[in-house]
Amino acid sequence: MTPPELVLVRHGETEWSRSGRHTGRTDLPLTEAGRGEARALAPRLADRRFALVLASPLRRARETARLAGFGDRAEPCDDLRERDYGAYEGRTTAEIREEHPGWNVWTGPLPDGESLEALGERVDRVIARARAAPGDVLLFAHAHSLRVLAARWCELPPVEGRRLLVGTGSLSLLGWERETPGIRALNVRP
């Protein structure tokens, strides 16, 4: 049996993604540009067959799944939620650095937020579920959760997600070289 590939989709643009605000639990809709990004995904995904389609329960991911043609198939998956940024929810890195020079989301503290290790544990459960699927898997989620998921797929620590960039409305493909998991494509725009 051929091991499944994972197609990762980052949701389309929101007001906060456009302005660089950390958006974890805040449930924002897509902007008109974000809806256009989501619709542009449909032709790229239409010819693929997926044994499993999962989406973060947050509105921006569900709306992207719907506009990409998978709203009726996308199962809500809490483990795909974005990282909880705690007290830094809604703030930009520049704003946080005014108080904490040199801070970054990958190595800096997140007061009342979720650790990278906890996020890694969540995405590890998604990976286990995907690897057990009888075919390819499609995931609709968020920037940091998908970046950590891609790092964990490659058997790297969660912090290495910092090296993997995924823009709004982008596709990434995780697959295999023989028995070794790897990244086939990253941050592809339709």
Active site residue 22: no
Alpha-carbon distance 37 to 10, whole Å? 10
| Catalytic residue of the set 5, 37, 82, 114 | 82
Catalytic residue among 11, 22, 142, 144: 11
Question: What sign does the CA torsion over 20, 145, 114, 103 have?
Answer: negative
d(CA 27, CA 43): 27
- Whose tokens are 């699927």? That residue is 133
Q: Does 11 participate in catalysis according to the annotation?
A: yes
Residues labelled as active-site residues: 11, 82
